[in-house]
């Protein structure tokens, strides 16, 4: 049976086109010489380490990832045409996970930075972020790492809701792993515009070291959006809907809490 990467609350899996020689080589991908004490050691599925005060779990696997979620997330990726062949051909992977403490920001920044270092390997072909249901390229992840690291911390997906393309939805995937609730933006603006707006708003909150909360407000392009409890249009889960507050408009009355059968 193919050994699968561990799954902390927040995890990334860097797909490789070649198998690392040993665990020392893997750690030295993060910082030259870091893996010297483990030179010659076999690949380990789980190795605890502390980097800049963050407790991380790294693992290395000398076989392709067989988890069916990878293929499912690839099928929904806007970069699937670019990624399909590299994902199919990958031979090994490195996982990196963190369980965010209550003050999550510093640990997540360190985690994302180390992921970027791992993606700088010559044999890195893609990165899978299962808690975000997201697969992307090394170029995209590292590009956001340079411009706005918070974008890499949660995925945003968008689609049309109807065949006539009159209603769209964008929603986050990843805030739940950070201890929050996923966000949702519905309307007529189209998936691309909705994706960009929700991505910017979510990153702005995370850059302020905040997890969006019911009744809170997110400001994007000078427009405040009230966060109102709602239901996911795609999967029916509880979400926070973004409701635009126009100039002079009173905040919408908070709806009565729905009683979900599972609590």
pLDDT tens digits, one per residue of 114-144: 999 999 999 999 999 999 999 999 999 999 9
pTM metric for this prediction: 0.87
- pLDDT tops 70 at residue 213: yes
As a whole number, mean pLDDT of residues 186-215 equals: 92
> Which comes out higher in pLDDT, residue 92 or 221?
92
The 3-class secondary structure across the chain, one letter per residue, is CCCCCCCCCEEEEEEECCCCCCHHHHHHCCCCCCCHHHCCCCCCCCEEEEECCEEEEEEEECCCCCCHHHHHHHHCCCCHHHHHHHHHHCCEEEEEEECCCCCCHHHHHHHHHHHHHHHCCCCEEEEEEHHHCEEECHHHHHHHHHHCHHHHHCEEEEEECCCCCCCEEEEEECCHHHCCCCEEEEECCCHHHHHHHHHHHHHHHHHCCCCCCCCCEEEECCEEEEEEEEECCCCCCEEEEEEECCCCCCCCCCCCCCCCCCC
Structure confidence at residue 104 (pLDDT): 74
Residue-wise pLDDT for 27-70, tens only, equals 999 999 999 999 999 999 999 999 988 999 999 999 999 999 99
Structure confidence at residue 246 (pLDDT): 77
Q: How confident is the model at residue 99 (pLDDT cuts 50, 70, 90)?
A: confident
């Amino acid at each position: 049976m193919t050994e699968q990467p561990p799954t902390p609350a927040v995890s990334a899996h860097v797909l490789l086109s070649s198998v690392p020689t040993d665990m020392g080589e893997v750690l030295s991908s993060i910082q030259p010489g870091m893996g010297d004490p483990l030179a010659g050691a076999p690949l380990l599925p789980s190795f605890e380490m502390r980097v800049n005060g963050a407790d991380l779990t790294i693992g290395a696997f000398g076989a392709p990832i067989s988890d069916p979620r990878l293929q499912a997330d690839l099928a929904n990726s806007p970069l699937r045409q670019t990624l399909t062949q590299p994902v199919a051909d990958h031979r090994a992977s490195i996982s990196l996970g963190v369980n965010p403490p209550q003050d999550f920001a510093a640990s997540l920044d360190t985690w994302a930075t180390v992921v970027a270092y791992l993606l700088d390997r010559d044999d890195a072909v893609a990165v899978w972020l299962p808690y975000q249901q997201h697969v992307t390229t090394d170029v995209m992840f590292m590009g956001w790492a340079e411009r706005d690291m918070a974008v890499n911390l949660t995925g945003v997906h968008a689609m049309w809701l109807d065949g006539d393309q009159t209603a769209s939805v964008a929603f986050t995937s990843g805030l739940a792993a950070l201890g929050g609730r996923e966000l949702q933006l519905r309307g007529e603006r189209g998936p691309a515009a909705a994706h960009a707006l929700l991505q910017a708003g979510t990153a702005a909150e995370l850059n302020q070291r905040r997890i969006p909360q019911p009744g809170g407000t997110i400001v994007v392009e000078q427009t405040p959006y009230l966060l109102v409890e709602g239901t996911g249009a795609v999967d029916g889960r509880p979400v926070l809907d973004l409701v635009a507050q126009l100039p002079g408009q009173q905040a919408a009355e908070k709806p009565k809490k729905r009683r979900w059968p599972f609590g």
